Amino acid sequence: MNQSRPKIKRSRRLGIPLTPKCVRYFERRPFPPGDHGRARSKDSDYKVRLVEKQRLKAQYDVAEGQLRRAFDRALRRPGKTGEELVIDLETRLDALVLRAGFARTIYQARQAVTHRHVTVNGRRVDRPSARLRPGDRIAIAERSRTKTPFVVAAAGAHAPQRPAPYLDVELSGLTARLTRLPARGEVPVICDEQLVVEHYSR
């Protein structure tokens, strides 16, 4: 079975392409899967909030419990809860590996971390959910840099069109530093985070 098929269907259901490979499928059929995908009735308010939460979960590839804990942390911070939620998710190690251009998708970034190819401040870290703070340095471990996926990454194959302004990246050396916390407007996720806040607050 083609492993990309579930992600294509999920992309269409959520209204966003989840991987580069999904983009051309999504552009060709930008409506939900199923016989009635083109002509569905207006969604309820609950459904709209639920889909927005699912979109956020999908873009960071996190489980429900992980998103809920991130929301609880955001709730305790002084800023706007929705913005704090996105910032919390964006400072996950796997998300920053992706933004740095060391992986093609969030799924590859997670795999790179769990397979111990990534170091933080010189120490191997195998927990994708590890949160980084300004000043922390990410690198692909020395022994892993000759592996094909990282050779490709070092050549710039996965470099984002708009580099993350909160990361100082040296692609050729496969290193990056989180210079500061991101602002919500700088984070390239498609989500109305206020709807996610409303979903958890009801």
What is the maximal distance between C-alpha atoms in the chain? 54
70-94 as b/e, with b when 16 or more CB fall inside 10 Å?
bbeebeeeeeebbbbbbbbbbbbbb
Looking at the predicted structure, is the pLDDT value of residue 2 above 80?
Answer: no
Query: What is the overall mean pLDDT for the chain?
Result: 88
pLDDT confidence of 1, banded at 50, 70, 90?
A: very low
CA distance 97 to 77: 25
Q: Looking at 26-30, 36-40, 43-47, which range is the least confident one?
A: 36-40
DSSP per position, 55-104: HHHHHHT--HHHHHHHHHHHHTSSS-HHHHHHHHHHTBHHHHHHHHTS-S
pLDDT confidence of 15, banded at 50, 70, 90?
A: confident
pLDDT tens profile 85-142: 999 999 999 999 999 999 999 999 999 999 999 999 999 999 999 999 999 999 999 9
Looking at the predicted structure, is the pLDDT value of residue 34 above 90?
Answer: no
pTM summary value: 0.83
pLDDT confidence of 188, banded at 50, 70, 90?
A: very high
pLDDT score recorded for residue 26: 53
pLDDT score recorded for residue 200: 94
Question: pLDDT exceeding 70 applies to what percent of the chain?
Answer: 80
Looking at the predicted structure, is the pLDDT value of residue 178 above 80?
Answer: yes
pLDDT score recorded for residue 7: 64
DSSP per position, the chain: --THHHHHHHHHHHTS--SHHHHHHHHHS-S-SSTTTTSPPPPPHHHHHHHHHHHHHHHHT--HHHHHHHHHHHHTSSS-HHHHHHHHHHTBHHHHHHHHTS-SSHHHHHHHHHTT-EEETTEE---TTPBP-TT-EEEE-GGGTTSHHHHHHHTTTT--SS--TTEEEEGGGTEEEE-SPPPGGGS-----HHHHHHHHH-
Question: Is the model more confident about 102 or about 34?
Answer: 102
Chain Cα centroid distance, residue 125? 18
Looking at the predicted structure, is the pLDDT value of residue 43 above 90?
Answer: no
